[in-house]
């Protein structure tokens, strides 16, 4: 797909088909993440690639369990109180149950951890779009990882002691891939000619 078209037609998908993604496509996705720019060209990201259905379901259950056991306070990140309320009511949807879920972790000590991970995840979202796959950036693990139960669980699936979760990505086949370019609000631009 032409690059600019790929950038402009990419959308976030929140409904996925339960169809496995071919290993070749997963490898292309990971390679796109690997070719992202990174500070000092250090490829410090750790991609935890969850294909296994039992583990995918276990993670969703763990996120719900952790949220259900949290107190509803105004502390924590914006939205947290609302998400806790939804989880307690059994209505919270974490990652839209995709057939592929990728957690992007990075070194705690890397000052560019978030920037490196953001570059990698955007490359993967565009590669997904190029391969006719839908994707959605999922933020919650970044915020929930400090809960001891969540952190212990993340360690069982590969998060290292010296790493933090920066972001995560749901990927899957979708009913229909978007191909139009809607109007967007503009970012602020200061143009000096």
Ligand X SMILES: Cc1cc2nc3c(=O)[nH]c(=O)nc-3n(C[C@H](O)[C@H](O)[C@H](O)COP(=O)(O)O)c2cc1C
Letters for 123-162 (x = contact with ligand X by CB under 6 A, - = none) are -------------xxxxx----------------------
Q: What are phi and psi of 184, to 5 degrees?
A: -125, 145
Q: Report if residue 11 touches ligand X, rule: CB under 6 A.
A: yes
Return the number of the residue (69 or 139) whose C-beta is nearest ligand X: 139
Residue number with CB closer to ligand X (148 or 182): 182
Tell me which H or E stretch contains 178. none
14 sits near ligand X (criterion: CB under 6 A): yes
Our finding on whether 12 is near ligand X (CB under 6 A) is: yes
**Does the footprint of ligand X cover residue 164 (CB under 6 A)?**
no
Instruction: Tell me the CB-side half-sphere exposure of residue 187, using CA atoms within 13 A.
Output: 3
Q: Report how far apart, in Å, the C-alpha atoms of 158 and of each of 66, 76, 88, 102 are.
A: 19, 25, 28, 12
At 90, list the tokens: 């059994």
Question: Which residue shows structure tokens 């979760």?
Answer: 165
Residues at the site binding ligand X, with contacts judged by CB under 6 A: 11-12, 14, 136-140
């Amino acid at each position: 797909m032409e690059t600019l078209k790929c950038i402009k037609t990419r959308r976030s998908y929140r409904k996925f088909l339960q169809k496995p993604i071919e290993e070749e496509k997963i490898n292309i996705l990971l390679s796109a993440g690997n070719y992202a720019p990174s500070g000092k060209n250090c490829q410090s990201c750790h991609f935890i690639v969850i294909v296994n259905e039992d583990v995918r379901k276990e993670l969703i259950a763990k996120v719900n369990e952790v949220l259900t056991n949290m107190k509803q306070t105004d502390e924590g990140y914006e939205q947290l109180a609302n998400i806790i309320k939804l989880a307690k009511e059994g209505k919270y949807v974490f990652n839209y149950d995709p057939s592929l879920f990728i957690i992007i972790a990075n070194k705690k000590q890397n000052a560019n951890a978030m920037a490196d991970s953001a570059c990698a995840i955007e490359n993967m979202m565009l590669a997904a779009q190029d391969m006719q796959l839908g994707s959605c950036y999922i933020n919650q693990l970044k915020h929930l990882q400090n809960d001891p139960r969540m952190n212990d669980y993340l360690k069982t699936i590969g998060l290292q002691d010296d790493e933090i979760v920066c972001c995560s990505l749901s990927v899957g086949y979708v009913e229909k891939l978007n191909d139009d370019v809607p109007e967007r609000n503009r970012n602020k631009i200061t143009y000096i000619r």
